[in-house]
Amino acid sequence: MNLISQLLPLIFSANFLNTVIRVSTPLILCAMAACIGKQANVQTITYEGMMLFSALVGTLGTSYTNSLIGGVIIGLIGSVAIALIYGYFNIYLDTYDTLLGIAMNNFVNYFTVFLLFALIGRKADSSTVVSYSYPTINIPIIEKIPVIGTILSGHSLVTYIAILSVFVAHFIVYKSTLGLRIRSVGRNPESAASLGIDVRKTRMISFVISGIFAGFAGEFMSMSYLSFFTKGMVAGRGFIGIAASNLALGRPLLGLVYALMFGVSQVIANQLQMLQFTYQFANMIPYIVTIVGLCITGSAEMRKEKMGGKAKEDKKKDKKQKAEAE
Amino acid sequence: MAKNKEYVSTTKIEQRFTIIRTVLAVTISILFCFLLIFITSKQPLTDIVTFMIAPLTSKSRFAQLLIKMCPILFTSLAVCVLFSANTANLAVEGAFYMAAFSSASISVLENFLPAPLHFIAAAIAGCLGAIAVLIIPAVLELKFNANIVVCSLMLNYILISLGNYLITGPMRDKGYSKEATKVIASTAKLPIIWNAGGQKVHFGIVIGILCCIVAWFIIYKTTFGYEARTVGQNPDFARFSGINVGKIIVVGSIIAAIFCGIGATSEVNGYYRRMEWDNPTGYGWDGIMIAILAGNNPLFCIPGAAFLAYIRTSADVLNMTSNIPVEIVNVVQQVVIIMIAAKGLLSKSEKKAIVANAKHNAELQREEEKAAGDSEGPKEVQA
């Protein structure tokens, strides 16, 4: 009880919401990447790998090109490259997606350590390298409004990109020709192909878009959340993003809501740690929430399928009855 | 019909291509490895030679190979069982880690049981720990239709925290400077079968090879194994032919967990003085690579594990003699998995070979019929 009474004032504060938005940034971006993937019906779990790779390449890129934009671009290229390698193997070489996903994730996990060691001679992190971070932005007028200002202003540039990405993803999926193609390829590849849509190409394009979103998410980790790269720093955020998009059934706006929900669980976990709660158990919370979320959507889908089957049967019965009546 | 020696069946061609693909995958990965060495090393040629032959250059290095082979043999068996039923349960990593804890809780008891029984009791505890882990994603998938891949990966993250809690909290020996459990009782230890210059090969390798045979028997010679393979190849067909798919997945997870439990216990009680893993070992991922390399056949896991242990020993040697990090092996390992899993690789030439073979067979058949027709007089010729 003592713990809860200590926790509550922390939760109901403007700072808490500010932290939630900050912590949710990579989750939102990754959820958008996963939403695009889900719409195209590609079961990728490599967002984790894309994020990790762009995190490393991005932060080292800023130091090698000596500019923020150079690093950002290199990071995005890195993440898109991983997405394209995945796409090529999955789509053109017909590789089983789960296996390929795990292998790619592990590949990136070790390859980043290898690169880190080869380039700067350290295995754990890149903190010795001078690199740039994304700037923090204070929104001019909103900044001065008491509570809303604390919540919305003063975030990293990536956070605003993340919020923008939700609308971009929504626009791509629902308002653009490309989105229509992606959705039709996802729903029914055969009929899409019969209408002259190049299924493979459309899926590759969806991988590129996912790669860009995941790239920003990775860059947030190493160029904003921390100012350097550490080994395995993405720590399952890619999977949480997938869970959010699964819960949202691939709808970007809903994806935002679920990503924020996972963000809340992560911040509560962080707050509990500060209150002397055993930190290992606090660390488990986001993952447990994710599993529970997957169970809820999974069973909802199962029920829907059953209901769908029943509805069809009912319709058939209706038709039969009508036919008999006539 | 196809009894004539000149006929070649399609399955045989497929098998031939599987072998070609495996060899190709391993070759490409090793070439990739050479490339990495070439880029990073200051003395590339010496390093490549070291990488190729290091484990065979001394007894202690060869012993090291056998020691490294032991745990990955067990995890690969677990993955074989899971994958042959096409269950993408990736919690083997976490199960192996947890099994080490639950078995260590028995192994550290002094004066508990006489020698072989104490080890067996510890192994049983290990199995229970592993079962508790591996059954979770399977049940969540069956009961709640939750995505088993993401669930099991999340579970691994949870177990990292749990393991960290156990080793720093309740199971820690506070009188010891590092984070580790108490010393494992001598009665629970596995005997050393070969001591080569300080590298002690323990009895675990023998248990591992025996387990391979048992796993092969389970997968290829029992009803369960047959049903599991049917589920793995075509779940719908399995369901329609009356196989209880849920039961197969649950039983498969339990069998896999038992291999994890025995493996973790052998590894800890054979090699270590105390159980001191403060992070998962990565052996679960190694198991996935070996199982894929072996095509889910437990007997092929032995050469598969030997291959991985070989390049890992090489990498360890390289790590000491040059500036190449050990992670190079893990990178190469993933490339092997990707290349073998790429079914589209060579698929065009495979199809061509199958078509050519079918034509060849048809021609043979026609000639035969002709010959038969000539000797027995005129006969109806089938179109």
Contacting residues for B67 by C-beta, under 8 A, at least 6 apart: B199, B200, B201, B202, B205, B271
Q: How far is A209 from chain B (nearest CA, A)?
A: 22
**Digit-coded pLDDT (tens) for A179-231:** 888 888 888 888 888 888 888 899 899 999 999 999 999 999 888 888 888 88
> Which among A106, A242, A280 is the nearest to B161, CB-wise?
A280
* Minimum distance, in Å, between the CA of residue A129 and any CA atom of chain B: 19
Count of other CB atoms within 10 angstroms of residue A112? 27
**pLDDT score of A315 more than 80:** no
pLDDT value at residue B102: 93
Taking the CA of residue A72 and the nearest CA in chain B, the distance in Å comes to 25
Query: CB neighbours (10 Å) of residue B250?
Result: 17
Q: Is the confidence at residue B167, as pLDDT, over 50?
A: yes
B235 to chain A nearest CA, in Å? 16
pLDDT band at B171 (very low <50, low <70, confident <90, very high): confident
| pLDDT tens profile B86-112 | 888 889 999 999 999 999 999 888 887
pLDDT at B5: 53
The secondary structure of B85-146 as a DSSP string is TT----THHHHHHHHHHHHHHHHT-TTSS-HHHHHHHHHHHHHHHHHHHHHHHHHHHHHH--
**A209-226 b/e with 16+ CB inside 10 Å = b?**
bbbbbbbbbbbbbbbbbb
Mean pLDDT value across residues B315-325: 82
Of B327, B341, B344, the CB nearest to A99: B341
Q: How far apart are CA A77 and CA A72, in angstroms?
A: 9
Binding-face residues of B in 149-178 toward A, CB within 8 A? 149-151, 153-155, 157-158, 161-162, 164-165, 168-169
Helices (H), B169-244: 204-221, 223-233, 235-240
Q: How far is CA A137 from the centre of its chain?
A: 23
Distance in angstroms (rounded) separating the CA atoms of residues B250 and B236: 18
Reported confidence tier of residue A1, pLDDT bands at 50, 70, 90: low
Q: Which two tokens stand for residue B95?
A: 């199960």
Residue B3 has pLDDT above 60, yes or no: no
Pairing of strands B199-202, B192-196: antiparallel
Report, as an integer, the average pLDDT of B280-287: 88
Q: In chain A, which residue's Cα lies nearest the Cα of B328?
A: A114
Of A261, A238, A260, A253, the closest CA to residue A166 belongs to: A253
pTM of the model: 0.83
* Structural fold of domain B59-323: ABC transporter involved in vitamin B12 uptake, BtuC (1.10.3470)
Nearest chain B alpha carbon to A114? B327
Between strands B192-196 and A155-156, the pairing is unpaired
**CATH 1.10.3470.10 placement within chain B:** 59-323
The helix/strand/coil state of B221 is: helix
For residue B81, is pLDDT > 50?
yes
**Binary contact (B285, A102; C-beta < 8 A):** yes
**Which of A106, A235, A294 is closest, CB to CB, to B285?**
A106
Q: Residues A76-96: what's their mean pLDDT? A: 90
Residue carrying the six token digits 């990073």: B40
Nearest to B330 among A106, A288, A295 (CB): A106
Convert the pLDDT of each residue in B187-217 to its tens digit: 888 888 888 877 888 899 999 999 999 999 9
pLDDT at A313: 58
Chain A residue with Cα closest to B289: A103
At B358 the three-state DSSP class reads helix
Note whether B146 contacts A: Cβ–Cβ < 8 A: yes
